[in-house]
Each structure stands twice: as C-alpha cells, then as structure tokens.
Amino acid sequence: MDIFNKIAKKQMYEVVQEKGVYPYFHKLLSGQDVVVNMEGRRTIMLGSNNYLALTNHPKVIKAGVEALEKYGSGCSGSRFLNGTLDLHIQLEENLADFLNKEKVMTFSTGFQSNLGIISAIVGRNDYVICDKENHASIYDGCKLSYGKMLRYNHSDMEDLERKLQSVPKECGTLIVTDGVFSMSGDICKLPKIVELAKKYEARVMVDDAHGLGVIGKGGRGTASYFDLEDEVDIYMGTFSKSLASLGGYMAASKDVVEYVKHTSRPYIFSASMTPASVACALQALEILKAEPERVDRLNEISSYMRKKLKEKGVNIIESKTPIIPIYTCEDYKTFLACKLLLERGVYVNPVVSPATPVGQSLLRTSYTANHTKDLIDEASDKIKEVLDLLKDVKVEN
C-alpha cells in the first residue's frame, strides 16, 4: 500500500478551506503588539502569548541587534560541542537565580525542552503520569522515552492517586503537569500533586510555559504562586511567551541538570539557541525583574476582560490567568466566529476537536500587559456581536 494514500483523501483542512472559514496562517505585516496589521487590516490581537508586551520593547530589540552584530546569526553547532556562548551561560545563571533553583539549562525551543527532559529522565522501567490536558510536547516527550505513560483526568486528584497506586513499587515515577493549562487557562492543583508525590515517592515536573511572567511572586510561575518552590523537582518553560524570544529551559538541582545535559538526545544533537534569541530573552528577564508591576497590569486587564464578557452574558471558562477561553461548542461555528471577528478587526485563536472534546470547541483569547480598557471594550463588543450572530447559524456537516 502507498504510504501517501492518506494524503490523497480529502483532509479536514481542505473541507474548511472550501467552506471559506479556514482560520490559519493569516499573514502579519507588523510585529506582535496589542494592535497589529494583519493582511492589511487594523486588528486587535487577542491571540498572542506576548503576555508582558516585551516583543517590541526597545531594550529587547537593542539587545538582539547587538548580539547579532557581535556573535553573528547562529552558533553553527550544539551546546554540547562548539555552540556554547558566554551569553548562554549568563542567561542560565540569571534565570536559575530568578527561579530559586540550583541550575538551569536552555534548549533551542520550548517543544524541544519537554522532548529532551522527559526522554532523558524517564527510563525503561519508569512511569510518567500526565494530566490529560497537558501540552502536546509533553505527550511527545513521553513517547520518546522508554517508560510507560499513564494519564489522569484533568485536575482529578483522585484519579491521579489511582494511577500512582498502580505503579509497581520498584519503578520510578515522574508526575508531569502544565502549571497554567494553555487551552483552558486554569492552574494545576499543585499542592495536592506535591502531597501525592511525597506519599508515593514520585517526582514532580511542572511545565510553566504559560506560568512564567504570569503568576507567582514577580512572575516566577506556578510553584511560586503556591509557595512550593522547594517541592517541585523540575520546572520547564519557554522564552517565546513572556520573555519575548525563542527557546526553552529546564530548572532543577545541579545533579538533575548535569544528567540531562549529558544524556538528552534532543539537546545534544540540536543546534543551540541563536545569539540574538539568547540576548533578547536575557534582556526580557531583566525587565521582568525590574518591572514586576507588568505582571500586575497583565492580571488587571485580564480580570477586566472577564468582567466585561460576563456582563455581556458570554460563556467563558473561569480562570485567574490571561487566557480566557470562550465556548463556541461546534467546530464550524468556531471557524466562522474567527472569520467574522477578523472581518471586524479582532483576532482570536480557534480550538477545535481533537484539541478539545467534541462539542466543546473554543475561541482562545489571551491578553498582554499593554492592552488598554478602550481596546478591551471594543473587542468585547465585537465578540458579543459575533456570538449573537452565530445563534442563528445552522451547523454544517
């Protein structure tokens, strides 16, 4: 059988394109900001992870330009061999100090971080236990490891305990959870996870991609939010969100970091972060440390949007983060809502099955520290207008 047979069949993206509601790969003609030029149209951006509004900060841009001029465009090798710059070391040391961990190592992307960490830590006779709503990179990291993966129902601590009870006592166990879940915006039940980990002699890893710069003291993330920094064994995070760059990291004890550095194939066999990316992340971290009020502004504007949407009767998922998902239920209505909103100058992200259960499709909206109340008022009015229009739309098969 030809392996390309699956490609010859009509794909869902082709069906959506034919219906004229394809929501992906819209062309930006400007940088990430609260208002962007998308395909020639002024658009309020409610779909970015630029939480602290640092992607266009003059100091961040200047740092990137200076690094490009000094070190060139790339490192031409892995960190393991010729690709380690003094900038990499500086970023790792500064981030370890900020996160109150012994040591940090950096990866070229956030996705690669989860691949590299989990596949190195979880061995053939080990178990990795995941929340069902964890990020795709966690799942792929589990697949890349030689261990056995178990999944517990989202934030269901009784189900987590059942999974822990099923692990043979002679096997090692790593519990992996998102800190802030990327689709729903809710925060993991870290205190109970830590409690269960101690009871069953498991270790805990938190993916803080959407937690760093968003929650916790000064934006230090989920463990800080719950005052459990000493109880979480591994933090993973990215630079592509709050820290306005590209790359990822692991923060842990010195022994754990050194082990992963010398055993992780995705780390050893990948080129290191580019000089400009490192410099931008380093400068963004310095701004976060100097201006923790950005985190407060971010959460204030997010709370304001939640209040506006509730006042308008919009059905949202409750959270305490800058991720506010809006229920649209059917996939087609979700795609259509994105199209209608973009025509009205508002960009949001569609989340449809299988990323959500069938019948629970969403518009994922997210906010930055630089959104103004005027922009929020304008966007919330248009969201309400479009959702009202969708009430009379019949779902197409």
Choose, from 88, 101, 163, 210, the residue flagged as catalytic. 210
Residue 322 to residue 302: CA distance in whole angstroms: 5
- Of how many residues is the chain composed? 397
The reply to whether 262 belongs to the active site is no
- All structural domains of the chain, each given as residue ranges with its CATH number in brackets, are 9-45+292-390 (3.90.1150.10), 58-290 (3.40.640.10)
Helix axes 275-290, 58-71, angle to 10 degrees: 150
pLDDT at residue number 297: 98
**In tens digits, what is the pLDDT along the chain, a chain of 397 residues?**
899 998 988 888 898 999 999 999 999 999 999 999 999 999 999 999 999 999 999 999 999 999 999 999 999 999 999 999 999 999 999 999 999 999 999 999 999 999 999 999 999 999 999 999 999 999 999 999 999 999 999 999 999 999 999 999 999 999 999 999 999 999 999 999 999 999 999 999 999 999 999 999 999 999 999 999 999 999 999 999 999 999 999 999 999 999 999 999 999 999 999 999 999 999 999 999 999 999 999 999 999 999 999 999 999 998 999 999 999 999 999 999 999 999 999 999 999 988 888 888 999 999 999 999 999 999 999 999 999 999 877 765 5
Phi, psi of 301, deg, nearest 5: -70, -30
Choose, from 48, 119, 145, 182, the residue flagged as catalytic. 182
Residue 362 to residue 317: CA distance in whole angstroms: 9
Phi, psi of 269, deg, nearest 5: -105, 25
Cα separations in angstroms, 231 against 128, 226, 253, 313, 389: 18, 10, 12, 40, 49
> Global pTM?
0.95
* 3-state SS assignment for residue 184: coil
Closest by CA position to 188, among listed 218, 150, 166, 216 = 216
Closest by CA position to 87, among listed 101, 66, 102 = 66
Choose, from 88, 103, 241, 333, the residue flagged as catalytic. 241
Question: Which CB contacts under 8 angstroms, 24+ apart, belong to 68-75?
Answer: 68/275, 68/276, 70/275, 71/275, 72/275, 73/274, 73/275, 73/276, 74/271, 74/274, 74/275, 75/271, 75/272, 75/273, 75/274, 75/275
Q: Regarding beta strands 173-178 and 361-366, do their DSSP bridges make them parallel or antiparallel, or are they unpaired?
A: unpaired
CA dihedral 164, 165, 171, 176 (to 10 degrees): 0
Cβ-in-10-Å burial (0-12, 13-18, 19+) of 28 comes to middle
The reply to whether 241 belongs to the active site is yes
Q: In the structure encoding, which two tokens stand for residue 102, read together? A: 């012994």
Helix axes 373-390, 331-343, angle to 10 degrees: 130
